Amino acid sequence: EVQLLESGGGLVQPGGSLRLSCVASGFTLSNYAMNWVRQAPGKGLEWVSCIRSSGVSTVNEDSVRGRFTISRDNSKNTLYLQMNSLRAEDTAVYYCTNLYDPSRGSFHDYWGQGTLVTVSS
């Protein structure tokens, strides 16, 4: 069974840091580019970051550039999102997904259940 399991969310003060992890099982993570997509409470979807299958190339949404870093360890079948200098507006459920692979222009549909990040004092 294919599964993506996110962890690492929680309550953090403004300016703080968190590291999200997403462990893949049932498929080989290294075969796919991976993305983080977030959803603020009661709001719509927002793409955050993408990393190609090799991990060499990454792309980030403007509001997180310089603060968030996406990375992966294919040997551990794990995707990461290091989030620094967190702001209240980063409060959201964060999903890892293989939705889009820019190298191939292909679309896929593996999603985790999400992990909630709350930035508040």
Which parts of this chain interact with other proteins (CB under 8 A)? 35, 37, 44-47, 50, 59, 61-62, 95, 97, 99-100, 102, 105, 107-109, 111-114
By beta-carbon proximity to other proteins, the closer residue of 4 and 86 is 4
Q: How far apart are CA 107 and CA 121, in angstroms?
A: 38
Q: Which C-beta is closer to other proteins: that of 75 or that of 109?
A: 109
Q: Distance of alpha carbon 62 from its chain centroid, rounded?
A: 15
Nearer to other proteins, 27 or 47 (CB): 47
Q: Is 89 in contact with 68 (CB distance < 8 Å)?
A: no
DSSP-derived letter for residue 76 is: G
Tokens of 85: 């200098």
Q: Least distance from C-beta 112 to other proteins, angstroms?
A: 7
Residues 60 and 21: their CA atoms lie apart, in Å, by 17
d(C-alpha 22, C-alpha 103), whole Å: 21
Minimum Å gap between C-beta 20 and other proteins is 15
Nearer to other proteins, 18 or 48 (CB): 48
CB of 91 to other proteins, least distance (A): 18
